[in-house]
Copies of this chain bind each other. A is one copy, B any other.
Amino acid sequence: MSTHVAASTGSRALLSPRVVRSTVVPVIRHQVSALEPTLARICGYHLGFIDEHGDPSSGGDGKLTRAGLMMAVADGVGLRPEDVQSQAAAVELLHNATLLHDDIADTDELRRGRAAAWKVFGVSLAIHAGNALQALGLQMVVDDSGPGHQKIARSFAEALSLVHAGQARELALRPGPGSGTAAYEQMVKEKASALLEFSLATPALRAEKPENVLTALRGAGRHLGIALQISNDVEDIWGDPAMTGKPLRGDLKRRNLTFPVLVALSADGPAGNRLNRLWHADSTTETHLQSLADLIDEAGGRHSAQQLSRQHLDSAVEHLGRAGLSPAATTELTTLFDRIVNRAA
């Protein structure tokens, strides 16, 4: 993935993904390889270190988005990458734990262009593997004794609780007059924003920055998460599977109430009305999904989603500006925010 970034964004931003990768990946590899052998294999597969036969693999690893954000903020508060190395590895492990369990819960068969772990190793072992990654992340956070360690551990535990709450809330989402998008925002705040808030706030806790800096960074994380999730929602319907690593319209097939759908279902007018009729039909044929996609677009779901995602991205950048980081870090984070939201996966 660093080659992809190099091709698309030029030299200044190149530094960061390389540093992030070389700081975080060895730690994760080391920790994962020390797991019970079966778990090490499943987690190594999920993280893209090995293929399904246990052979070394270079494909399928994640973008280290959360570690990247954490290290950029670390730079912006005068810390070195090593100062938040454990926390950066931990947040990536936790993020991957949620993906492992999410794929089971959603019966998603593809992850980063490869078979999801539960398809390869079965549901039982994949549940335990997700738990193992979560426990590993936790161990790394509580084993750390650097400045602010207890506050960091607390915010890690809180993020973990929020993520699980958001995942459950997502499954409970129901279309309704007006209430749909409010419940959606609450869900996203928990599911997508919690780990981003943790990533942005941790270096400030380590550097023992005052409360206003933390508030600004957490606000940035909150808005970034909402922008990212809405952008993911748009990509599910109109994105490029080669970029997302997931089959097109998986959410649509499962009739998940993503943001464009919620907007379109509550829209007045012929497209919204027709969508409400077609939405509850069982069909998952490409033609039917295409009709749904067209109606969501016509009813304004795509436009509203893109607009709201942009607004939240702007708000994220605005909050970031209030954190008083170094100008170079602020510029880098602004670029990162944009890249995260606009090639979401």
What is the CB-to-nearest-CB distance from A27 to chain B, in angstroms, rounded to a whole number?
A: 16
List residues of chain B with CB within 8 A of the CB of A166: 36
A125: B residues at CB distance < 8 A: 105, 168, 171
Q: Which of A151-159, A285-293, A300-308 contacts B (4 or more CB under 8 A)?
A: A151-159
Selecting from A4-12, A129-137, A198-206, A226-234, the interface stretch reads: A129-137
Q: Which residues of B contact A124 (CB under 8 A)?
A: 104-106, 171
Of B38, B129, B145, B167, the contact of A172 (CB 8 Å cutoff):
B38
Q: How many residues of chain A get a CB closer than 8 Å to chain B's CBs?
A: 45
Within 8 A of B (CB), among A107-133: 123-125, 127-129, 131-132
- Assembled-state Cα–Cα distance A167/B130 (Å): 12
> Could you tell me if A142 and B164 are in contact, using CB atoms closer than 8 angstroms?
no
- Per-position 1/0 for A170-198, Cβ under 8 A of B: 01100000000000000000100000000
Given the complex, which residues of B lie within 8 Å of A171, measured CB to CB?
38, 124-125, 128
Query: Does B136 lie within 8 Å of A161, measured CB to CB?
Result: yes
* A79 adjacent to chain B (CB < 8 Å): no
In the complex, whether A267 has a CB less than 8 A from a CB of chain B is: no
Taking a contact as CB atoms under 8 Å apart, the answer to whether A167 and B101 are in contact is no
Instruction: Output the least CB separation between A169 and chain B (Å).
Output: 5
Residue of B nearest to A186 (CB): B36
Distance (whole angstroms) from the CB of A264 to the closest CB of chain B = 25
Q: Once bound together, how far apart are the Cα atoms of A134 and B134, in whole Å? A: 10
Contacting pair A101 B123 (CB below 8 A): no
The reply on A278 being an interface residue by CB < 8 A is no
Give the distance in Å from the alpha carbon of A101 to the alpha carbon of B97 in the complex.
Answer: 14
Residues from chain B with a CB closer than 8 A to the CB of A139 are 154, 157-158, 160-161
A150 at the interface (CB under 8 A from B): yes
Q: Are B161 and A128 in contact (CB under 8 A)?
A: no
- A143 in the interface (beta carbon within 8 A): yes
- Check A138–B160 contact: CB distance below 8 A: yes
Residue A91 lies at the interface, judged by CB distance under 8 Å to chain B: no
B143 touches A157 (CB 8 A): yes
**Which residues 32-53 of A have a CB within 8 angstroms of B?**
35-39
Neighbouring B residues of A19 by C-beta, 8 Å: none
The answer to whether A128 touches B164 (Cβ under 8 A) is: yes
Question: When chains A and B are docked, how far (Å) is the Cα of A207 from the Cα of B145?
Answer: 21
* Cross-interface CB contact of A129 among B37, B134, B168, cutoff 8 Å: B168
Once the chains are docked, how many angstroms separate the CA of A157 from the CA of B156?
13
B153 touches A36 (CB 8 A): no
Residues of B close to A143: CB separation below 8 A = 154, 157
Instruction: Name 10 extra pairs, CB < 8 A, besides A35-B165, A36-B165, A105-B128.
Output: A36-B190, A101-B131, A104-B124, A128-B167, A132-B165, A135-B157, A139-B154, A142-B150, A143-B154, A143-B157
A-B contact pairs, 25 of them (CB 8 A): A35-B165, A36-B166, A36-B168, A101-B127, A104-B127, A105-B123, A105-B125, A105-B127, A123-B123, A128-B171, A129-B168, A131-B164, A132-B161, A132-B168, A136-B161, A138-B157, A138-B160, A139-B154, A139-B157, A139-B158, A142-B150, A142-B154, A142-B156, A149-B150, A153-B153
Closest 3 CB pairs of A and B: A105-B124, A36-B165, A135-B161
